[in-house]
């Protein structure tokens, strides 16, 4: 399932005995094939634009598209190929449905999330570092920018997603609490992990074998014919087109906005222009140590931090400069260079003790020592801003471009429709002339090419490639506005000739033949080594290189062989003196002989016991959770709590295949 926040930091565990019993009963029900419910409840959905419904929560195409782009950006570092979006859409749709199913079940089990729990969660881990560095809120504007930049959504949706994740965590934590591992499992895993092996190995290189292959022209042509089907239509289709571009940006420059329109928009969107009450402060932080695993605090260290903070407070009362002392003493390294200055703080965005002191202290005054979960603070209030509504004059420059775009969009669409109608009777050139616009003509272009005057427009290019030659002019949207277009020539996809792909065919031939020859030579090497009981002698006869490894474990890497967790892990199952069969290790063929095998001692096993126990527990919990979620979803579908819009799902799937 899609875990919006991977492995969140510590939050309050809610594993109540009664809840766990009920959940375990639900597990038994959901693990029975077909559950306790028949397949008689309706599950179909037909609402356009809605892919599914879980309980009363609709899952829309825009929601899934947003999640798909998040997945794609994580995998492709921001550059999501348009061709992959349909596949990502399918994956995201299943993720979102499953996530909503778990949230639905968590709500049903009474595991809802309060605003206080949300606030506590956002103060922890990576979110805490980003949103509340050293316990202080980064500011409403910075918070909104961070959410938009990282998650491409508004704060309200972001916080709803976080609440959903916390609810999931509560439910799955309760499920995982029932999981145990046996001592036998722990011992076997530690023995497996901590066993060391030393071996000699003979290597046959794929590259060396490839150098021995020199195909003739006849062989290459035969290979081309045998694989011609794989090359079918590999030269993409190309088209020539001409089009008239209706540039929305140009129309926006000609649009005028009246004072009445500005005033109306301002009235309708006043909430967007409200500035909350803020306070701007400097602070000095003397950190206290974090509690240990049992929640205990080093009291001596706490007392020392308090004494240091009180001494600084005395220096301030004696007239010392606050900014200078912040630079010298504060443990908030992100603000020391600015003399402890923080961005403006709004209510509800920092820890309560800090907030109460900051908002209740007059401008120009300094607090005493304030204790929070981060340590001891001394706060100096620099300025305060009362909550207010920005006047129209202040936001006029923000509103005007929005209204111009709103007016220009339908005007551009109407103009495109008019030009299309005219072009269908008089032709594109005449239509452009009457409207004082230009006709752009392309050369031969294919998917991925830039279009003159437009640039990269994958969706438009797909539309052009799907049109027929000399079809009546049609209209399509572009990133810049609209185009009225006509395809004037089509060059269908083609299968390349032998001469066009000869070099590629030769490389493929050599690669395929070398793989076959390498497998044959490695087998012969293994057979000879076994029959002669001598790997070195067999390797010399086969022209293979012999090397000796160090004493290595399963996490080691061996030159030419790769990871010991890969095919070469066979070495751990052999006894000293035994010779392996043929092994393919990456591009090389290998035969090895074990020289030494060392099992871990009881002392080593005891040392790693607790750590391995936790690792195995985590693995089993994850497996158990996945099984639970899979069965939960199946049961909710049978109950009709999950309804799938088959038509919309098929539309997403058909896009993936096109």
Confidence grade of residue 79 (pLDDT, cut at 50, 70, 90):
low
Cβ contact 107:171 at 8 Å: no
Residue 570, pLDDT score = 94
What is the C-alpha separation between 590 and 529, in angstroms, rounded?
Answer: 12
Q: Is the pLDDT of residue 145 over 60?
A: yes
Q: What is the DSSP track for 198-240?
A: EEEEEEEEHHHHHTT----HHHHHHHHHHTGGGGTT-B--EEE
Confidence grade of residue 593 (pLDDT, cut at 50, 70, 90):
very high
Helix (H) or strand (E) holding 525: helix 502-532
Q: What is the DSSP track for 20-88?
A: HHHHHHHHHHHHSTTTTS-S-S--B---TTEEEEETTEEEEHHHHHHHHHHHHHHHHTT---GGGHHHH
Confidence grade of residue 77 (pLDDT, cut at 50, 70, 90):
low
Dump pLDDT digits (tens) for 348-371: 878 889 999 999 999 999 999 999
Residue 103, pLDDT score = 85
Residue 189, pLDDT score = 86
Q: Is the pLDDT of residue 216 over 70?
A: yes
What is the C-alpha separation between 211 and 35, in angstroms, rounded?
Answer: 62
Residue 35, pLDDT score = 32
Confidence grade of residue 83 (pLDDT, cut at 50, 70, 90):
low
Domain boundaries, the chain: 17-180+615-657, 196-233+500-598, 238-256+398-491, 277-386
Please work out, in degrees rounded to the nearest 5, the angle formed at the alpha carbon of residue 45 by the alpha carbons of 40 and 51. 130
Residue 131, pLDDT score = 85
Percent of the chain with pLDDT over 70: 90
Task: Identify which of 5-14, 282-291, 502-511 has the greatest average pLDDT.
Answer: 502-511
The mean-pLDDT minimum among 3-17, 455-469, 542-556 falls in 3-17
How many residues does this entry show for the chain? 658
Does the domain formed by 277-386 have CATH 2.60.40.10?
no
Dump pLDDT digits (tens) for 388-431: 999 999 999 999 999 999 899 899 999 999 999 999 999 999 99
What is the C-alpha separation between 577 and 197, in angstroms, rounded?
Answer: 12
Dump pLDDT digits (tens) for 269-302: 998 898 889 999 999 999 988 776 566 778 899 9
Dump pLDDT digits (tens) for 218-246: 999 999 999 999 998 889 999 999 999 99
Q: Is the pLDDT of residue 617 over 90?
A: no
| Averaged pLDDT score across all residues of the chain | 85
What is the C-alpha separation between 199 and 229, in angstroms, rounded?
Answer: 45
Does the domain formed by 17-180+615-657 have CATH 1.10.4030?
yes
Residue 82, pLDDT score = 62
Residue 294, pLDDT score = 61
> Looking at the whole model, is its pTM more than 0.75?
no
């Amino acid at each position: 399932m899609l875990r919006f926040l991977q492995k969140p930091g510590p939050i309050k565990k809610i594993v109540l005995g009664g809840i766990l019993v009920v959940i375990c009963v639900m597990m038994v029900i959901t693990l029975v094939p077909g559950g306790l419910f028949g397949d008689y409840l309706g599950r179909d959905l037909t609402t356009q634009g809605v892919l599914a419904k879980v309980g009363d929560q609709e899952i829309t195409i825009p929601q899934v598209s947003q999640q798909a782009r998040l997945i794609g950006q994580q995998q492709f570092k921001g550059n999501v190929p348009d061709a992959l979006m349909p596949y990502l859409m399918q994956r995201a749709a299943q993720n979102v449905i499953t996530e909503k199913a778990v949230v639905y079940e968590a709500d049903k089990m009474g595991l809802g999330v309060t605003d206080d729990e949300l606030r506590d969660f956002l103060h922890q881990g990576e979110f805490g570092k980003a949103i509340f560095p050293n316990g202080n809120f980064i500011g409403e504007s910075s918070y909104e920018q961070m959410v938009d930049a990282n998650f491409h959504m508004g704060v309200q949706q972001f916080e709803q997603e976080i609440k959903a994740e916390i609810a999931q965590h509560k439910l799955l934590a309760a499920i995982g609490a029932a999981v145990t591992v046996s001592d036998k499992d722990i011992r076997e895993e530690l023995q497996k992990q901590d066993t060391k092996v030393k071996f000699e190995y003979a290597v046959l290189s794929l590259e060396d074998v490839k150098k021995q292959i020199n195909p003739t022209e006849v062989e290459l042509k035969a290979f081309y014919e045998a694989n011609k089907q794989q090359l079918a239509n590999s030269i993409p289709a190309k088209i020539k087109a001409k089009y008239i571009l209706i540039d929305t940006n140009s129309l926006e420059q000609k649009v005028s906005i009246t004072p009445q329109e500005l005033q109306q928009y301002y009235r309708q969107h006043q909430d967007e222009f409200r500035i909350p009450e803020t306070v701007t402060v400097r602070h000095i932080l003397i950190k206290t140590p974090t509690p240990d695993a049992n929640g205990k605090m080093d009291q001596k260290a706490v007392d020392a931090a308090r004494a240091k903070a009180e001494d600084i407070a005395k220096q301030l009362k004696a007239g010392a400069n606050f900014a200078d002392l912040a630079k010298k003493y504060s443990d908030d390294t992100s603000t020391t260079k600015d003399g402890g200055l923080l961005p403006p703080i709004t209510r509800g965005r920092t820890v309560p003790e800090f907030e109460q002191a900051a908002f209740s202290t007059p401008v120009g005054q300094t607090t005493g020592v304030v204790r929070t979960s981060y340590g001891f603070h001394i706060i100096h209030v620099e300025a305060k801003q009362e909550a207010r509504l920005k006047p129209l004059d202040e936001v006029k420059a923000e509103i005007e471009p929005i209204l111009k775009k709103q007016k220009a969009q339908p005007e551009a669409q109407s103009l495109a429709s008019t030009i299309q109608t005219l072009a269908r009777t008089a032709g594109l050139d005449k239509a452009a002339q009457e409207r004082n616009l230009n006709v752009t003509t392309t050369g031969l272009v294919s998917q991925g090419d830039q279009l003159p005057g437009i640039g990269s427009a994958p969706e438009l290019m797909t539309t052009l490639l799907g049109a027929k030659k000399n079809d009546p002019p049609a209209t399509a949207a572009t990133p810049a506005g609209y185009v009225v277009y006509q395809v004037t020539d089509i060059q269908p996809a083609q299968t390349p000739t032998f001469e066009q792909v000869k070099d590629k065919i030769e490389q493929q031939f050599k690669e395929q033949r070398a793989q076959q020859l390498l497998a044959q030579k490695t087998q012969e090497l293994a057979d000879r080594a076994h029959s002669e009981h001598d790997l070195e002698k067999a390797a010399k006869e086969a022209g293979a290189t012999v090397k000796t490894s160090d004493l290595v474990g399963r996490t080691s890497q061996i030159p030419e062989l790769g990871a010991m967790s890969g095919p070469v892990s066979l070495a751990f199952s052999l006894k000293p003196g035994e010779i392996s069969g043929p092994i393919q290790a990456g591009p090389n063929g290998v035969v090895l002989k074990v020289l030494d095998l060392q099992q871990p001692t009881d002392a080593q096993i005891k040392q790693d016991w607790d750590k391995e126990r936790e690792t195995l527990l985590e693995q089993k919990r994850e497996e158990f959770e996945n099984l639970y979620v899979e069965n939960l979803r199946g049961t909710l579908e049978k109950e009709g709590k999950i309804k799938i819009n088959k038509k919309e799902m098929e539309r997403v799937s058909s896009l993936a295949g096109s």
